[in-house]
Copies of this chain bind each other. A is one copy, B any other.
Amino acid sequence: MGMLYTGNNPQVMPYRDEHLAMDFTQQAVVLDSERVILTRKEYDLLALMVQHAGEIIPREALLMQVWGYSPEIRTRTLDVHVRRLRKKLGGYADQYIETIFGVGYRFQPFHAPRFFQHIAAKPLMAMGA
């Protein structure tokens, strides 16, 4: 009986809130009961943020994790991808994907309280160049 080893598949619990659901084994994203088609990079980016929901993820961390870029690399591709992700998340986009100015981005579950809107967010890492 043949078995085909097809790679690692980290067991991550699916995400679900009032509007958005994400299944990491099927690579499926559903928004208000409709499938959202994401490209690979869009998916990787969203997956990383959702798996760290509520946490601020610095640009460098996103560029490192999703693109394999080291901090010296100057690129706008992260911004462009965030923009396209937000577009595909429709009207809830800005609620889901927060911009933390000077730092990075944060995914927030739909009803997450936003008491202390990143007041404490002083740059943890240098951004430039």
Contacts and interface: CB of A to CB of B under 8 A. Distances in A.
A8 B126 contact: yes
A33 B115 contact: yes
A28 interface: yes
B27 A127 contact: yes
Contact of A102 (B9, B34, B40, B124): B40
A116 B32 CA distance: 12
A65 B58 CA distance: 22
A84 B122 CA distance: 31
Interface string A1-30: 111111111100000000001010111101
A125 B7 contact: yes
Nearest to A27: B127
